Structure 1
Amino acid sequence: MTDSGSDLAWLVIRQDDNGNRYRVGRYATQDEAQRIADSFDDRGHKQTYWVERIGQPAL
């Protein structure tokens, strides 16, 4: 991994109740990012979390 974060190609995104979207973090693998997103979901947060690859078109 480089200091620039170029190897951190996976994002966890959060959307709140008002439709605002925020980047929670960047991760090296899709599995790692999904584990983080799932851990937030498991805590019962009302927000929605999902994983995107950097450069992937937003939904």
Structure 2
Amino acid sequence: MTESGPVLPWLVIRQDDNGHRYRVGQYATEDEARKIADSLDARGHERLYWVERMGGAPA
């Protein structure tokens, strides 16, 4: 945690079937972000979810 709030470096990103990308949320740990991405991905819609570290490449 910093003076400005908690550190949340892990992002869940969604890409829809038109190729548009959106940030779904920010999380403190990769494991937490991956659980969210996996649960969203399991819904079976034509969307892709992945985890990446803020400022980095997809994990």
Judge same fold: TM > 0.5, yes or no: yes
**Structure 2 spans left out of the alignment, 5+ residues:** none
| Paired position in structure 1 for 2:28 | 28
Q: Could you tell me how far apart the structure 1 residues matched to 2:39 and 2:12 are?
A: 11
**Structure 1 spans left out of the alignment, 5+ residues:** none
TM-score, with length taken from structure 2? 0.85
Cα pair distance change 1:33/1:39, threshold 3 Å: same
Q: How many equivalent pairs are there?
A: 58
Q: Secondary structure at the match of 1:23?
A: strand
What is the aligned-residue RMSD (CA, Å)? Answer: 1.8
TM-score, with length taken from structure 1? 0.85
